Amino acid sequence: MDLPAVGLGTMGIDEPGAIETAIDVGYRHLDTAQIYDNEAVVGEAIESSPVARDTLTVATKLWIDRLAADDVRPGTRASLDRLGLDAVDLLYVHRPRGDYDPETTLPALDEVLDAGLTSHVGLSNFEPDQLATARAVLDAPIAAHQVEFHPYFQQDELLADAREHDYPLVAYSPLAGGKVFDDPVLDDIAYKYDSSPAAVAIAWLTSYDNVVTIPKASSEAHLRANFEASDLDLDEEDVARIESIDETVELYPE
């Protein structure tokens, strides 16, 4: 998929106003999920926006209790009803857990795609061996893989898989829950560019040619700052400094 460099992660957003503002700012990739309990909020923002639906990439994710073969289609339809849409552009398996069985879940996703309920099938929080299994079972190509990815949780193996198989890696929690604001390396780089640690973290992610990111924000100021961060052009030395941060923090472990 040709996804924008910066999209909007909506986890925790429970009012349509912030999403409407994001669309006004220029966001065209909106990411939600069944477990976020805000698909209706996203749908309300889409309906209220003057921006044409076909210019937006709308993604949602099937939770682990909707991954049995018989639950995939009704689960997808339930999400569409909440969103007020006939189809989503990208439908993910949120995690390969719970009712997930690659031999039955993935063919059901192919059927959902064939029925026109989604345009693309994606995966989220998969390991490399699970991605390989999915490729072997799915008829549809893996359109995107969404994972936690930030300076303290650098997904080298998954980045390599995305490059080898030519799909975008969608990085969630790019600001590491706010940890980037107190990092001396990011702060030093931000000073060099007259920018902010948050912008540097986003720019670092989008410096990879197959990585996009979906930071969450609610205020117009933060929405604009995140959206414009991909315009920051870090030099190779600064990319390498961030890559060399020797600290591991996983916000959303299995």
Respond yes or no: is residue 152 known to be catalytic.
no
Residue tagged active-site, from 36, 100, 167, 172: 36
Residue 211 neighbours by CB under 8 Å, 6+ apart: 149, 159, 162, 168, 169, 170, 171, 205
The tokens describing 195, both together, are: 């920018």
Residue 38 falls in which region: left (phi positive, over 0), alpha (psi -120 to 50) or beta? alpha
Residue 231 neighbours by CB under 8 Å, 6+ apart: 203
Catalytic residues: 36
